[in-house]
Amino acid sequence: MQSPRRLIVAITGATGVDYGIAVLRLLRRHGGFETHLIISPSAIRTLAEESDVPLAEVQALADVRHPFKDIGATIASGSFRTEGMIVAPCSSHTLSAIAASLGDNLILRAADVCLKERRRLLLMLRETPLHLGHIEHMAAVTRYGAIVMPPVPSLYTRPQSIAEMVEQTAARALDVMGIETEALHRWGDASGREG
């Protein structure tokens, strides 16, 4: 039997929880994917600090929700087929733990599975400024096959609001994952607004 197209979305405790929410909303609008969501306890804290979106509403955007500590979840196994994982936003803590191949929570385990199964893993790392440890961990995960994509907005798209800027960055991340959503503005688009 053919597996459905599945994508894992993880939200960690870096500022920018809205990036994860935007990724989930775009995937829902796009359709065609079974989304699997994991939210770290620190992300629940940042959500409360910086967003008006209730946790239940974020969770309802996903098809399947996994407890952070459930290292026995489906997505903890390489035999469970997925098309990869986006960590949006990705904290420096989670980056460092992925670089060390740790797996003591489901976000880390699922990310490690993506790397070992040679599936796409995109980390929207949000930390600034960076010390050499962060940079070395970025280099390490890149060598292991991950894509580090800090959520840096493209201002030449002339976003009219923060929400638009966040959505455009989320659409670009999905594009890097091979998922083309209608929200993405490409350079040379007829709209004249590039991405």
Ligand X SMILES: Cc1cc2nc3c(=O)[nH]c(=O)nc-3n(C[C@H](O)[C@H](O)[C@H](O)COP(=O)(O)O)c2cc1C
Locate tokens 């893993």: which residue?
121
In the bound state with ligand X, the residue whose beta carbon lies nearer, of 63 and 127, is: 127
- Residue 74 binds ligand X (CB under 6 A): no
Considering only the C-alpha atoms of the chain, give the largest distance between any 2 of them, rounded to a whole number of Å.
48
In the bound state with ligand X, the residue whose beta carbon lies nearer, of 61 and 87, is: 87
Describe the crossing of helices 162-176 and 17-30 by its angle, rounded to 10 degrees.
60
Sheet (strand 120-125) strand order:
64-66, 34-39, 6-11, 84-90, 120-125, 147-148
- Residue 12 binds ligand X (CB under 6 A): yes
- Residue 46 binds ligand X (CB under 6 A): yes
Residue whose CB is nearest to ligand X in the complex, by number: 13
In the bound state with ligand X, the residue whose beta carbon lies nearer, of 149 and 184, is: 149
Rounded Cα distance between 119 and 69, Å, is: 22
In the bound state with ligand X, the residue whose beta carbon lies nearer, of 128 and 142, is: 128
Binding site for ligand X (CB under 6 A): 12-15, 40, 42-43, 45-46, 49, 91-94, 126-127
